[in-house]
Structure 1
Amino acid sequence: RSGNYSKHPPTSFLPVEEEARGACWEIKDELLQYIKKFEPQNEEVEAIRVLLHGPVGAGKSSFINSVNNVLQGRMTQEALASNSASDQSFTKIYQIYKIKKEGRGNFYPFVFNDTMGLMDEDGRGVRTDDIILAMKGHVKDGYKFNPSASLSNNDPVYNSAPSICDRVHVLVHIYSANAAEMKSSVLQKMREIKKAASELGIPQLVILTHIDAACGEIENNIRNVYRSTYLEKKMTDFSSSLGIPMNSIFPVKNYIHEVQLDPDVDVLILDALRLMIDFGGDYAKNSVSLQ
């Protein structure tokens, strides 16, 4: 790419020894092995359920694709993500995404549930009530999001007796580092969802996407991610606004235009994934089925 970063906001960088958060860039194989060996410790739970939510264009489906890319060792298109941050959510249906593991018929013991982008001022997008119902395990795979009305208990895709397997084990808030200032209406919805998850005891973390678009020096070298004071401020602001601790916020670059994997991009994705399955595994281990 061109070295002209005039599209990016002004930014400054910390010296390497003063990085906002240390990063070890040589642990891709270690992270991969950890994830490949992971198994839920609750025998009732076959797979840790990770629920992704956030505004339209934040990169939810792209993150699923990116995880799949890294674990398959090649480019894939599992979640059929949109490549544009338009005002139309690509995801329309509540769908489970499994990731294939080595060996025929094997899958990793974690799944992703993608959601439609949060409802905007024009009434387009997923309702917060549906996100909360999904966290409780009441939404079956295949539910078509309806901005006009939340899922009712009379609907065929309403699960009236969710088990621990049906419930969400970790909630992931996804937001774009390159987005303009967050709209108060979107922030309010994210706070409502965060509060509901907290009341349910569901662990939470944040994925901050599009970090390369937000900062030219990160686009130039992904290893500048924890040296960017601009990105650090974005993370700090989001932490304060949503009430998520900084050590649960992970800046990530999704694979969108690339045709080959980058080990440094992979490390950021795998580092976030490791915490997701650890958090989800801890929640599942300490939970019991709902009848």
Structure 2
Amino acid sequence: MIYFGGSYAKNSHVLRSSASGSPLENPWREISWDTRNKDELLQYMKNFQPQNEEVKAIRVLLYSPVGAGKSSFINSVNNVLQGRMTNDALVSNIASDQSFTKKYQTYKIKKEKGNFYPFVFNDIMGLEDGDGRGVRTDDIKLAMKGHMKDEYKFNPSSPLSEDDLDYISSPSISDRVHVLVCIYSANASEMRSSVLQKMKEIREAASDLGIPQLAILTHIDAACRETETNIRNVYRSKYLKKKMTDFSSHLGIPMNCILPVKNYSHEIQLNPDVDALILSALRLMVDFGDDYANKL
């Protein structure tokens, strides 16, 4: 088992206790909490168009261990861009070591006048411990190359084959993945070595294809008392910084490509501070993916 930023614990209360302590006097990363910054980011998203005219939408592929919050992140982005609570990507609130998502699902986000934003999210089955469980790394590699049709149902026992009806033999530029995003939870202190190995294999395959990569740290409020009390302490939290540093060293993703967010979970109204973190992460995803798509 690989440990990220703490000892193994079965509940978030223990994690928050171990993560307690005075926050850093100065934040180690700057972010603007001004509502004008949020408005500027929202306008940037509304005005965004891919540089490559052949690309219909920047494709963002999310992958993670089970329960890290991929579907919740998609809903959270949708919430911010819609300006209200949504629930397009179904999520489960039941703790389990098996993935709730079973299909390769593409999510578009509605814009004004019936249009859609020119970027999409792909949700997939989660990574599980051991062989023959969870999404197969071979399937993720095929998805990155654009060979997988929407709604393909994952089979942990065997990967998608060229003879399958869900196999795209000649993928377009828009079918391909333009940015790969790893989602992991700040509230999970252990990661099975087999899951980490799968994540490394996926990362190496993306690197071979030249696909840019980011990581999203979720559940920052549940993992740390400072951010639970005030989310603006996110970059003053010693615990979260160590969590990100440990993850960076194990998976190889640079620190400036790791972004902490809080997904919307129990709220019924939007929070501007939650929105600020989500929009900051979204802009990097879209910009990185756009730069890559422009080279294809």
Question: Do they superpose with TM above 0.5?
Answer: yes
Choose from 23, 31, 34 the match for 1:23: 31
Q: Corresponding residue for 2:100?
A: 90
Paired with 2:126 and 2:90, the residues of 1 have a C-alpha distance of: 15
Residue by residue, what CA displacement relative to the aligned partner does 1:130-157 show, whole Å, maximum 9, x if unpaired? 0010000010101000000000100000
Matched, 1:254 2:263: yes
Is contact 1:52–1:173 with CA below 8 Å preserved after alignment? yes
Paired with 2:85 and 2:233, the residues of 1 have a C-alpha distance of: 24
Paired with 1:187 and 1:124, the residues of 2 have a C-alpha distance of: 14
Residue by residue, what CA displacement relative to the aligned partner does 1:224-243 show, whole Å, maximum 9, x if unpaired? 10000000000000111111
Choose from 238, 246, 251 the match for 2:247: 238
Distance change >3 Å, CA 268–CA 244, structure 1 → 2 = same
Paired with 1:67 and 1:85, the residues of 2 have a C-alpha distance of: 23
Q: Corresponding residue for 2:136?
A: 127
Alignment of 1:29-108 (within 5 A): 29-104=39-114, 106-108=115-117
Distance change >3 Å, CA 178–CA 155, structure 1 → 2 = same
Q: Corresponding residue for 1:215?
A: 224
Is contact 1:56–1:85 with CA below 8 Å preserved after alignment? no
Choose from 118, 122, 131 the match for 1:109: 118
Paired with 2:94 and 2:267, the residues of 1 have a C-alpha distance of: 14
Structure 1: gaps spanning 5 or more residues: none
What RMSD, in angstroms, separates the aligned Cα atoms of the two structures? Answer: 1.4
Q: Corresponding residue for 1:196?
A: 205
Q: Corresponding residue for 1:167?
A: 176
**What amino acid is the match of 2:216?**
I
Q: After TM superposition, give the deviation of residue 7 of structure 1 in Å.
A: 5.6
State the number of aligned residues.
282
TM-score, normalised relative to structure 1? 0.94
Structure 2: gaps spanning 5 or more residues: 1-12
Q: After TM superposition, give the deviation of residue 90 of structure 1 in Å.
A: 1.4
**What amino acid is the match of 2:29?**
R
TM-score, normalised relative to structure 2? 0.92
Alignment of 1:261-276 (within 5 A): 261-276=270-285
Residue by residue, what CA displacement relative to the aligned partner does 1:151-201 show, whole Å, maximum 9, x if unpaired? 010000001111111000000001001112221111100000000000000
Matched, 1:282 2:291: yes
Give the 3-state SS of the residue equivalent to 2:129 in structure 1.
coil
